[in-house]
Structure 1
Amino acid sequence: MARAAAAKASRVHEEPAFVLHRHDWSESSLILEVFSRHHGRVALVAKGVKRPTSQFRSVLLALWPLRLSWGGATEVRTLKAAHWPGGQLLPPGEALLAGYYLNELLLKLLAREDPHPALFDHYAQALALLAAGAPQAGVLRAFELLLLGELGWLPALDHDSASLQPLQPERRYQLQAQGGLHEVAAPDGGQHEGLDGVLAQEQMQERVQGRVQEEGRASLNAPAAAAGADFATASCSADYWLALHAALQTGAVWPALLPLCQQDRSGALRRQLRAALHYHSGVREFQTRRWAQQVQRLAGHRVALPG
């Protein structure tokens, strides 16, 4: 009786969810890693899904909003039903890589069965924006900020973490994974003006690092070395951090945050967030970034690199 009651209590019906990853379990079945709104990241076995007659065969796609039902009291639950409720479509073209990058972040950073309903909504919004053709870089930076904030790894962006004093106008600050925001000297020795923090010297450094990356891709250590060099030159103005802080406090966070993230033309915010995500995930380079680099080489033209 107790076992039956536990199994009944563990049944979930019509749960909003997305498939993050899938891999073979047997000749006819798959193991799914899904991100659900009320149960967090959950592992499911989809039995017989690879058979031509399976009703799940054309439904269990990544980046597609689903309604899933499952049961079981073990770590890997059993998928019972799945359907697409309609509405949102898959991101097109290169935006697919951006969507897979978001999936990789969730797989690397979320613990299983740790619900984050607000983060689920932000993820769904990010995918909807990518499917609608919104600028990928802005969407990714906004989601990275929201992800770090939801998991408790984003410090207050209106204070210097070392002195606990408010950010000072016309000064520059760097986001450090372990230490929060710290004031740094402008590369040219003076103060920098402008919301998006674009310095001529910083842009020159970025171009140099780009050439170094192109020439040294054969080395396994090149990506990590280049990322470290990029981070060393990355910082943003106090005005920019304060604007991001204010946007994160609003109720309608995406309309306020997305335009600000699109202003990161120098890539300074991207490099600082990348360093924080690498630190907290424990990886040196995200697989989806490597995929994008391979696509770029095969296609012969520039492809937006996630992360």
Structure 2
Amino acid sequence: MTVPADAGDPVKAKPRSAAGARSRAKTAALPRSRSAPAPAYVLHRYDWSETSLILDIFSREQGRITVAAKGAKRPYSQLRPVLLPFQRLLVAASRPSRDETADVLTLRSAEWAGGGPMLSGAALFSGFYLNELLMKLLARHDPHPVLFDAYAASMPALAAADDTLTQAALRAFEIVLLREIGLLPQLDRLTSSGTALAADSAYQLRPELGLIAHAQGDAPLAGRQLMALQQALNAGEMGQLQRLCADNLPALKTTLRGLLHYHLGSPRLRTRDVMIDAQQLMEPHR
């Protein structure tokens, strides 16, 4: 059953990131009237008032959007058990009727769309890590349906409580994310020359140079594996991409972490810091 959000328009808010600021030119494309419910996930939630929330939502049709959920914090609100992270939702949101330039949309309805169990334990950190990447790297109102489907396909692997599956799912999602936002070069040819890779040769991926021949001191990536990764990307085979990542986790983790930190402009992510702190707190009890 669809749960209607309380009526009312949100206050106009400024984008929270540079990526959001770049998306202001797209406000004309935002829905002015009530939109049909579309698949979405809650990325983050903020207190807006004693009774309402501001939500960062990843929508398959609208990309990353910010919505005001009026009355969602009230004890009797049926939205409270619905607006949870890592649960697939059907969400309808539109621009306020009195402000056609508002960056914050009004949540009109939300309903649970099915899915796996809630993430718990270490899986929560992995899920929030994906959410943090999306919030930092995606511009608002820029749809990425392929990335949305990759996010949805990552949830079962995170919930499996298997470290290898989890790490492979994280690496596969990072690859799709970088490709979708235009920060990943072709993985089956050298970036500078366009020359096809040799299956038995070793290569490395550098943020400022792209894909180059392997040099000493960097995590090597086999040409055969890189070509297979590109093939899986082209085919949209998320399961195959995860399996390929599982075959070379250490090198891919080092390479992708370097790429992400370079483009994020930060050596650490908040989610990773929290996870490290939690592990240190638990260490004396082991």
The alignment's TM-score, normalised by the length of structure 2, stands at 0.81
Q: CA deviation at 1:174?
A: 1.0
Match of 1:158 in 2: 188
Q: CA deviation at 1:178?
A: 2.5
1:292 to 272, 275, 278: 275
Q: CA deviation at 1:7?
A: 9.7
Q: CA deviation at 1:41?
A: 0.6
- Partners in 2 of 1:38 and 1:102 — Cα distance? 19
SS state at 1:174 partner = strand
Q: CA deviation at 1:141?
A: 0.4
Unaligned stretches of 5+ residues in structure 1: 1-5, 188-231, 302-307
Query: Following superposition, which runs of at least 4 residues in structure 1 exceed 6 angstroms of deviation?
Result: none
Q: CA deviation at 1:142?
A: 0.5
Instruction: Tell whether the 8 Å contact from 2:62 to 2:141 is kept in structure 1 after alignment.
Output: yes
Cα 1:263–1:8 change in 2 (3 A) is closer
Q: CA deviation at 1:240?
A: 2.0
Unaligned stretches of 5+ residues in structure 2: 1-28
Structure with max Cα Rg:
1
Match of 2:238 in 1: 254
Cα 1:35–1:8 change in 2 (3 A) is closer
Q: CA deviation at 1:293?
A: 0.6
CA RMSD in angstroms comes to 2.0
- Partners in 2 of 1:54 and 1:82 — Cα distance? 12
Match of 1:233 in 2: 218
2:140 to 109, 112, 124: 112
Size of the aligned set, in residue pairs, is 249
Cα 1:7–1:168 change in 2 (3 A) is closer
- Partners in 1 of 2:31 and 2:189 — Cα distance? 49
Which residue identity does 1:286 align to in structure 2? L
- Partners in 2 of 1:111 and 1:283 — Cα distance? 18
- Partners in 1 of 2:43 and 2:199 — Cα distance? 41
Match of 2:131 in 1: 103
Identity %: 45
Instruction: Tell whether the 8 Å contact from 2:87 to 2:114 is kept in structure 1 after alignment.
Output: no
Match of 2:3 in 1: none
1:268 to 230, 233, 251: 251
What are the superposed Cα offsets for residues 168-200 of structure 1, whole Å, 9 maximum, x if unpaired?
A: 343221111222101123x4xxxxxxxxxxxxx
- Partners in 2 of 1:8 and 1:36 — Cα distance? 13
- Partners in 1 of 2:31 and 2:63 — Cα distance? 19
Q: CA deviation at 1:33?
A: 0.4
Match of 2:61 in 1: 38
Q: CA deviation at 1:294?
A: 1.0
SS state at 1:88 partner = coil
Q: CA deviation at 1:113?
A: 0.3
